[in-house]
């Protein structure tokens, strides 16, 4: 599997960070890779994992999304 096609992103402290790229949309397009991630417990990320996540993905936390 290519890096682009890899859904699970292993970052120390969080156990379930996944890229939702590659899924089909209602309009027939495909969601972009490395644009929207879903995750649990971001507050548990180690400082090193926080740095990697922000520097690689320019992550912004959004609370309250379904």
pLDDT digit string, tens, across residues 27-38: 999 998 878 878
The reported pLDDT for the residue numbered 31 is 92
Alpha-carbon gap, residue 17 to 22, rounded angstroms: 15
pLDDT in tens, 18-63: 888 899 999 999 998 878 878 888 788 888 887 776 555 555 556 5
Please report the pLDDT score of residue 61 as a whole number: 59
Q: Which two tokens stand for residue 16?
A: 């379930």
Mark 43-63 as b/e (b = at least 16 C-beta within 10 Å): eebeeebbebbeeebebeeee
Better pLDDT: 46 or 9: 46
- pLDDT of res. 55: 53
d(CA 56, CA 53): 5
């Amino acid at each position: 599997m290519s890096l682009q096609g890899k859904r699970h992103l292993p970052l120390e402290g969080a156990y379930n960070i996944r890229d939702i790229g590659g899924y089909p949309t209602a309009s027939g397009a495909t969601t972009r890779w490395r644009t929207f991630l879903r995750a649990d417990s971001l507050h548990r990320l180690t400082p090193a994992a926080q740095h990697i996540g922000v520097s690689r993905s320019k992550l912004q936390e959004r609370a309250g999304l379904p």
